[in-house]
Amino acid sequence: MANNRIIIKNGSVLGRKSEDIAIIDGRIAERSEHIEATANDTIIDAKGLVVAPAFVDVHVHLREPGFGYKERIATGTMAAARGGYTTVCSMPNLNPVPDSVENLKAQQDIIDRDAKIEVLPYAAITIGRKGEELVDIASLKGKVCAFSDDGSGVQVDGMMERAMTEAVKYDQLIAAHCEVEELLHGGYIHDGEYAKLNGHKGICSESEWAQVKRDIEIAEKVGCRYHVCHISTKETVALVREAKARGVKVTCETGPHYLIFTDMDLEEDARWKMNPPLRSAEDRAALIEGIKDGTIDMIATDHAPHSVEEKSKGLKDSAMGIVGLETAFAALNTHLVLKGVISLERLIELMSYNPRRVFRIEGGIEVGDRADIVLLDTEKAWRVDSEKFYSMGKISMFDGRDMVGDIAMTIHRGEVVYKAE
């Protein structure tokens, strides 16, 4: 049995103390201060590195099937492994939309063939993500991580109530991209100072928080597990905080970019264009308070690659979305951990433990866990070069920026899926 044992030696587990970890048949077999190695063991020397449960990103656009010119499951999952992730949840704005068992299979077949790590697909909430007809939740449960119409909000109150009522029957999670379409008015960045100074059409905060408020009320009424995607406004943070205090089964995520930048960091360049947009300094401060006090459960990248052409038309006309899998840990370590905003341990909770708990995903570093592990070089200084990304998406606001902290190795099910050069 011990013939195929892997031992990670000399690593600092969660940045606390040096422990060895033994892996047998893809699972954690032992953890102790010293594990005696034999000639047959494979040794991974983690001296100077932090050993943590690998990251989980619950909000990723892998673009296949339907949009393989933007990203492929093979490239997106390799980018994820390079970023320290062993599980990503793939969003349903695809062609075909995963709104039936048959349409989901089109995506699952590519996952089974090409994925370098675990990919858990979302199913749509409504047929074609059109908001008009509910999918058959009963037939899709167990095949997907959750239900979402991401890319669009469910506009009709009654439809969201039907979806949540049905989800409760089968203990399924509803994850919502919250956006009231009639409040958008053709906006494409935050309706803040930068938009006013530079003559751009803005997206108001209410377009997000008004729908969050509605959804929380429905979730509270029917008892649904409800997850809010990519929150960006101070009002949303307050609504989620109040709902949690009342015992509503609500969780939420925000993205690295919302915690680091504001609309006043914008340039006339589509690297800065995503939905929801970068908001005000007040919003950013509220989001940071939210990750500190537990209102915000997790950080997800909303990795949304596009072709260079689609991102070359300036702020107004370029596609919404940026890539994030390969820079998330480094950016958050540089801008939050090293500046004393949150601890490394809290960052690991936000990127690993909490998404696993909320989305019921296996893996970790406790004995018996599936061996999904990341080795972090928290002191490595490097400069982002998007041309070296594994992702097909090369448009990043972090391109050319100096970072501290990077991924040394990613291990999934006991197999090394990424190793730094």
Per residue in 184-196, pLDDT (tens digit) is 999 999 999 999 9
pLDDT reported for residue 1: 43
227 CB-side CA count, 13 A: 27
Buried/exposed code over 363-372 (b: 16+ C-beta within 10 A; e: otherwise) = bbbeeebbbb
Q: What is the mean predicted confidence (pLDDT) over 374-379?
A: 98
Which run of H or E residues covers position 419? strand 415-419
Q: In which order are the strands placed within the sheet that holds 55-60? A: 55-60, 85-90, 118-121
Q: Which of these is catalytic: 215, 302, 372, 377?
A: 302
Calpha distance 198→249 (Å, rounded): 41
CA 194 – CA 199 distance, rounded (Å)? 8
Convert the pLDDT of each residue in 86-124 to its tens digit.
999 999 999 999 999 999 999 999 999 999 999 999 999
Query: Which burial class, exposed, middle or buried, applies to 133 when counting CB atoms under 10 A from its CB (0-12, 13-18, 19+)?
Result: exposed
Does CATH place domain 56-359 in 3.20.20.140?
A: yes
pLDDT confidence of 2, banded at 50, 70, 90? very low
Q: Angle 44-47-49 (CA atoms, 0-180°, nearest 5)?
A: 95
Residue range 283-340, pLDDT digits in tens: 999 999 999 999 999 999 999 999 999 999 999 999 999 999 999 999 999 999 999 9
Q: Where are the alpha helices (DSSP H) in 303-415?
A: 314-317, 328-332, 344-348, 354-359
Q: What is the mean pLDDT of residues 255-275?
A: 97
Query: Considering the chain, what is the average pLDDT of its residues?
Result: 97
When pLDDT is averaged across residues 127-152 and rounded to a whole number, the result is 96
Over residues 367-373, mean pLDDT: 98
Q: Where are the domains of the chain?
A: 2-50+369-419, 56-359
The strand pairing partners of 45, in sequence order, are 9
- Angle 210-278-80 (CA atoms, 0-180°, nearest 5)? 105
- Joined tokens for residue 33: 């201060």
Quick one: 197 exposed, middle or buried, by C-beta within 10 A (0-12, 13-18, 19+)?
exposed
| Assigned token pair, 161 | 């109530």
Share of the chain above pLDDT 70, in %: 99
Could you check whether the bond before residue 121 is cis, i.e. omega within 30 degrees of 0? no
The answer to whether the 2-50+369-419 and 56-359 domains have the same CATH topology is: no
Reply yes or no on whether the pLDDT at 391 is more than 50.
yes
Confidence grade of residue 15 (pLDDT, cut at 50, 70, 90): confident
pLDDT over 50 (residue 155): yes
- pTM for this entry: 0.97
Is the pLDDT assigned to residue 248 strictly greater than 70? yes
Q: CB within 8 A of 144, min separation 6: which ones?
A: 98, 104, 120, 121, 122, 123
CATH 2.30.40.10 fits 2-50+369-419, yes or no: yes
pLDDT in the model for residue 3: 55
Q: Average pLDDT, stretch 3-26?
A: 94
For this structure, is 377 an active site residue?
A: no
Q: Is the pLDDT of residue 4 over 90?
A: no
The per-residue pLDDT for 143 is 98
Residue 144: half-sphere exposure toward Cβ, Cα within 13 Å:
34
